[in-house]
Amino acid sequence: MKINVTGLQAWFGEHQVVKGIDLAIPSRQITAIIGPSGCGKSTFLRCLNRMHELVPGARSKGRVLLDDTDIYASDVDPVLVRRWVGMVFQKANPFPSMSIRDNVLAGLKLTHRYDRTDAPAVVERSLRQAALWDEVKDKLGEPGTSLSGGQQQRLCIARALAVNPDIILLDEPCSALDPIATARIEELLLELRRDYTLVIVTHNMGQAQRVAERTAFFLQGELVELDDTATLFSHPRDQRTADYLAGRFG
Amino acid sequence: MSEAAADAALPATRRGTRSRAPSGRAARWHERLIELGLAGAGFTSILVTIGIAGVLIYESAGFFREVSLAEFFGETEWTPLFADNRHFGVWALVSATLTTTALAMLVAVPLGLLAAIYLSEYAAPRTRKIVKPALELLAGVPTIVFGYFALTVVTPTLQPWVPGLSGGNMLAAGLVMGFMIVPMIASLSEDAIYAVPQSLREASSGLGGGKLETIRRVVVPSAWSGIAAAMTLAVSRAIGETMIVAIAAGSQSNFSFDPREPGQTMTGYIVDISKGETPTGSLEYQTIFAVGLLLFVMTLVMNVISHRLSRRLRAQTRA
Amino acid sequence: MRHPIDLTANRSGLLAERAFVWVCRLGALVPLAVLAWLLARVTADGIGRVSLSFITDPPSQLDAAAAGLGPALLGTLWLIGLTAIIALPIGVSAAIYLEEYDRRSKLSAIVELAISNLAGVPSIVYGMLGLGLFVRALALGESVIAGALTLALLVMPIVITASREALRTVKDSLREAALGLGATRWQTTRQVVLPMALPGILTGAILAISRAIGETAPLVVVGAVAFIMYGPDGVDAPYTALPMQIFQWTSNPKREFLTNAAAGILVLMATLLVLNGFAIWLRNRTQARRT
């Protein structure tokens, strides 16, 4: 499923953080969004599954087409959007009151799509897709929080995959993890792009180069440049992009 | 140089400071004494705890020398004031306590929990500012007022609807007790729900869960230890409640779980017998303490469980 | 090829969600409705009986119309006065000790445990402590001082907890400033911390008094009399109190006495309202002054 963003703006109260962005995200690829802190990349991401507006006082408007459906149309129920667009957060947040197995199934239970006979198959499939199955298959009944940081994040990915979204948004998913755990997740993302469209926000430029086909550079709420990753990093067209990549500001 | 002259030699802002502070060793003794005094004040709470346990055990010991534990816990008739055919089966009192407590929890738990969810998840800040203090007001009403209400208003209101409801009955007392306890459950549960981290709610929304599902499957289960702590504390409160049952539940002690009947709870009995003239040291006098000891132990157990549960909540939310 | 997705479908459970909000609202509204009902009924029952003579007359076993609250109010005044004199100094001192001196020692941990246990003990058990210890063992008899001592122990956890909260609101930097100037711990507490914590401590005191005024059960056990024609004339005198008198009236089989009970309740609630209103005013005033 591809995403087509036109004229997206977002505010926190009176303060505008996303100032009109047009961006096309191709299907079954990884698109990375990079930029300095506060440039609006996380806010932009949260607009793609209509989670931005859950914050009191927050507003967003524009057009975001998932294939041909505008998720900002007036009669759209935002909760339904999130069945197609999954999200993985910066800090792993498995549900502490649930076991590993129940965590994976949580999305289905929350959306009334839980089928008891299918459940074990769903659990195994999702955990395999998240490259976690071998490590937890013997302890599915243990609490979700008993795993290490990297494993918890993969559990959250499995949880997101279990509801079968077409798109997965990742908001700096490795920023709280050590390099080894990060590498495992990056490997995982490269596998996942065969079946899903992935958008990843990252402040780690190496990560963008390692996993993403396309990269967008945001600055102060605007899209400055969008290109194939290799091209963006080697021959940026905009001076601001070049300055950021060279580390002249962070 | 005299004190006054030394003082006068100081700049104006520091005059009079020399004489005020006690000097050297006297000052240290002074401080130590004060510290000991304050520590002593703190120590009184330990003394009170020991005192309560001590008085109850000492007087009950006298009772249990006369009445066997088997009779106390085995029989179901409680007639200590009868001249002959005296029975000391505490179950008659405990059954009334359990019945009124159960009725109270039946009212207080659903209302309290729902109110807590409303206040923390749905209510607008302005509504919250009115509703929360209003519930606190409910908690501040003296229990004797609730007793009056149960006797003169609730019982007559229920009588046409509940066949066989006697003038003093456990139903009215239990229900009113429940309303009295709602603020306690609401407030403590609200704290527990508030402590659930926002990231869990976000995770649930991100998976496509609506608000009801998020509350039902994520928020409340995560807050469960705190909610259970609140309920346990409420049970303790209901067990120890006196005036509502003393006024509205009648003073016949029967072994019965039928809410339409009158019942004398452990607390109701203690009040009833204290009202009359019981000579010190008599067996009747000692029954106060025997029943009191049982009451104390029951509430203590509930309080300890509640404390452990809320500690588990705190550990969980920190993790 | 995927079909165009439908984001406008009514998802299952939407109706349930709307109903749920209303059910939750009920959880808050039903108890408040019962409270309103209670207040309305008590007022309707009792307001006719409230008068100056009602407040000052002695009670009567036979004639409800002539019975009054005089001795009961005097008894309550004596009780509360003595309770405050006993509970406040000890309670505030204990709070000062826990907050200013021994913040993390073994003794404080045990004291804190004791206090939190005591807060959960039913009030009637305090009555039994009073009966066994003050009335009998210390031979104070069924006197107003025995009652006051009992109530003082009962409200002490409230005083301690509220005072500790109040002390905690004073910033550590102020304490450090005073200590840095060479003041001793007690001087710092007395001259810097206490004045700042005073409003909170006073609020705690008022809370404790409010609690003590409404308590009936411990007083019954500790020997407050149900019928007495005059107020206490000394700390060793017999006494009755406002809630005791109300209780006595509700136990009387004659209907007219129930009216008296309602009127007594109105006086009790009015007193509590004034007290708590004063506490709130005090808190607002001192907060405003500080900001």
Residue-wise pLDDT for B46-68, tens only, equals 999 999 999 999 989 988 888 88
The tokens describing A201, both together, are 């926000």
Centre a 10 Å sphere on the Cβ of residue C26 and count the other Cβ atoms it contains: 16
- Based on the fold, state whether residues A134 and A159 are members of the same structural domain: yes
The tokens describing C169, both together, are 């609101």
Q: Which one of C132, C184, C214 has the shortest CB-CB distance to B142?
A: C214
Does B210 sit within 8 Å of A145, measured CB to CB? no
Give the pLDDT confidence of A137-156 residue by residue, as tens digits.
Answer: 899 998 888 899 899 999 99
Which residue has better confidence, B245 or B280? B245
Show the domain range for B96.
Answer: 91-318
Q: With beta carbons under 8 A apart, name residues in chain C contacting A66.
A: 5
Q: Is B113 on the interface with C (CB under 8 A)?
A: yes
- Based on the fold, state whether residues B59 and B102 are members of the same structural domain: no
Task: Record the pTM.
Answer: 0.86
For the range A219-223, what are the long-range contacts, defined as Cβ-Cβ under 8 Å and sequence gap of 24 or more?
Answer: A219/A35, A219/A36, A219/A39, A219/A244, A220/A19, A220/A38, A220/A39, A220/A40, A221/A16, A221/A17, A221/A18, A221/A19, A221/A21, A221/A39, A221/A40, A222/A19, A222/A20, A222/A21, A223/A21, A223/A22, A223/A23
Tell me the pLDDT band of A99, cut-offs 50, 70 and 90: very high
For the domain that residue B307 is a member of, what is the CATH number? 1.10.3720.10
Q: Can you give the pLDDT at residue C4? A: 65
In a domain, B72, yes or no: no
For the domain that residue A242 is a member of, what is the CATH number? 3.40.50.300
Q: With beta carbons under 8 A apart, name residues in chain C contacting A4.
A: none
Best to test chain A binding among C3, C5, C6, C8 (most A CBs inside 10 Å): C5
Is the confidence at residue B96, as pLDDT, over 70?
yes
Is the confidence at residue B1, as pLDDT, over 50?
no
- Based on the fold, state whether residues B214 and B253 are members of the same structural domain: yes
C-alpha distance from A39 to closest chain B C-alpha (Å) = 22
In a domain, A103, yes or no: yes
CATH of C74-241, one of 3.90.1150.10, 1.10.1050.10, 1.10.3720.10, 1.10.287.610: 1.10.3720.10
Burial of C176 (0-12, 13-18, 19+ CB in 10 A): exposed
The tokens describing B279, both together, are 């000579």
- Based on the fold, state whether residues A182 and A223 are members of the same structural domain: yes
What is the identity of the amino acid at B98? L
Residue where one domain finishes, among candidates A147, A164, A181? A164
Give the pLDDT confidence of A232-247 residue by residue, as tens digits.
Answer: 988 889 888 888 888 8
Q: Which one of A89, A94, A163 has the shortest CB-CB distance to B208?
A: A163
In a domain, B293, yes or no: yes
Q: With beta carbons under 8 A apart, name residues in chain A contacting B316.
A: 96
Query: CB neighbours of A249 closer than 8 A, spacing ≥ 6?
Result: A36, A243
Tell me the pLDDT band of B83, cut-offs 50, 70 and 90: confident
Residue where one domain finishes, among candidates A121, A136, A164? A164
Is the confidence at residue A98, as pLDDT, over 70?
yes
- Based on the fold, state whether residues A157 and A215 are members of the same structural domain: no
In a domain, B78, yes or no: no
In a domain, B74, yes or no: no
Give the pLDDT confidence of B138-195 residue by residue, as tens digits.
Answer: 988 999 999 999 999 999 999 888 888 888 889 999 999 999 999 999 999 999 999 8
In a domain, A52, yes or no: yes
Give the pLDDT confidence of C31-51 residue by residue, as tens digits.
Answer: 999 999 999 999 998 888 888
In a domain, A70, yes or no: yes
- Based on the fold, state whether residues A126 and A195 are members of the same structural domain: no
Q: For helices C255-290 and C14-46, give the axis angle rounded to 10 degrees.
A: 120
Best to test chain B binding among A45, A55, A110 (most B CBs inside 10 Å): A110
Mean pLDDT of chain C: 87
Show the domain range for A133.
Answer: 97-164
- Based on the fold, state whether residues B30 and B96 are members of the same structural domain: no
ipTM score here? 0.89
In a domain, B31, yes or no: yes
Residue where one domain finishes, among candidates A164, A180, A196? A164
- Based on the fold, state whether residues A149 and A72 are members of the same structural domain: no
Give the pLDDT confidence of A157-185 residue by residue, as tens digits.
Answer: 999 999 999 999 999 999 889 999 999 99
- Based on the fold, state whether residues B28 and B96 are members of the same structural domain: no
Size of interface A-B (CB pairs under 8 A): 76
Count how many domains chain A has: 2
- Based on the fold, state whether residues B45 and B140 are members of the same structural domain: no
- Based on the fold, state whether residues B36 and B106 are members of the same structural domain: no
Count how many domains chain B has: 2
Which residue has better confidence, B205 or B85? B205
Q: What is the mean pLDDT of residues B22-44?
A: 78
Is the confidence at residue C155, as pLDDT, over 90?
yes
Q: What is the DSSP string of B226-271?
A: HHHHHHHHHHHHHHH--HHHHHHS-S-------TTS----HHHHHH
Distance from the Cα of residue A49 to its chain's centroid:
10
In a domain, A122, yes or no: yes
Centre a 10 Å sphere on the Cβ of residue C53 and count the other Cβ atoms it contains: 12
Q: Which one of A54, A97, A159 has the shortest CB-CB distance to B207?
A: A159
- Based on the fold, state whether residues A240 and A175 are members of the same structural domain: yes
Give the pLDDT confidence of A10-40 residue by residue, as tens digits.
Answer: 999 899 999 989 999 999 999 999 999 888 8
Q: Quote the CA–CA distance of B295 and B91 in Å, as a whole number.
A: 12
